[in-house]
Amino acid sequence: MLDDNRMLEQAKAAFYSKNYEEAIPVLSRLAAGGVPEAEYLLGEAYEFGDGVAVEPERALELYQRAHSKGDGRAALALGRLADPTNRHANDAMEALRTPDAELSSEFYRAALGRFDELARHGDPDAMSLLGQCHLYGWGTQPDLGRALLLLTQAFALGCAFAGNELFSIYASPHSELYDRDKAQYYYSETRRRGCLFVRDPSYEP
């Protein structure tokens, strides 16, 4: 019988490869047992409708449970949902939001603190998340240079998801960092590792 850690890793792999039929039942079981990462991922599924119907209240409950156990990504999600400058793409999620700048800042601080602590210990996923915060200005002033450094380090250390942001940075023709060759590299490598979020026909073989 698989232990919770191995079950979680298999469920994460299925979730990120969009095999929701396999991932959701396992994440639900682990979340019911109080595993914070499973609570966060299941919350994400209910927020964006990945393999399940969008359920705003369920997503919020799961994020709050994961955040109470120190999950930085759940704190980031709660910060985004409370951020007055954001508007959710999903109408049901938007209707649930109660914008609160002070509360949003509190959640963002918790997320940044957690990511920074883990990144200092060499965690590539935390580096990637911290890089995204600097890239998009979540809880901090946008800092493209800092974001690029963190995302590049994260990708080099094995966090393939960082390649999505690196591709977007180098592929934007309006960016001073526009570089077709680097964009192609990060697109191809992220795709090869099965972590590409959005396909771009102009970068396909």
Tens of pLDDT, residues 51-67: 999 999 999 999 999 99
Residue 72 identity: G
Task: Band the pLDDT of 144: cuts 50, 70, 90.
Answer: very high
Tens of pLDDT, residues 72-95: 999 999 999 999 998 888 888 998
CA-to-CA separations, 31 to 59, 96, 174, in angstroms, rounded: 12, 22, 42
190 neighbors 169 (Cβ within 8 angstroms): no
- Hey, what domains does the chain have and what are their CATH numbers? 1-94 (1.25.40.10)
Please report the pLDDT score of residue 2 as a whole number: 59
Cα distance between residue 52 and residue 109, in whole Å: 30
Mean pLDDT of the chain: 94
- Greater confidence (13 vs 134) lies with 134
**Torsion sign across C-alpha atoms 134, 80, 40, 54:** negative
Q: What is the DSSP string of 3-44?
A: -HHHHHHHHHHHHHTT-HHHHHHHHHHHHHTT-HHHHHHHHH
- What integer is the mean pLDDT of 5-18? 90
Check pLDDT > 70 for residue 196. Answer: yes
Residues 6+ apart with CB under 8 A from 2: 10
Task: Band the pLDDT of 148: cuts 50, 70, 90.
Answer: very high
pTM: 0.90
Please report the pLDDT score of residue 1 as a whole number: 45
Provide, rounded to the nearest whole percent, the portion of the chain with pLDDT above 90.
83
Task: Band the pLDDT of 5: cuts 50, 70, 90.
Answer: confident
Closest CA to 79 of 31, 115, 36: 115
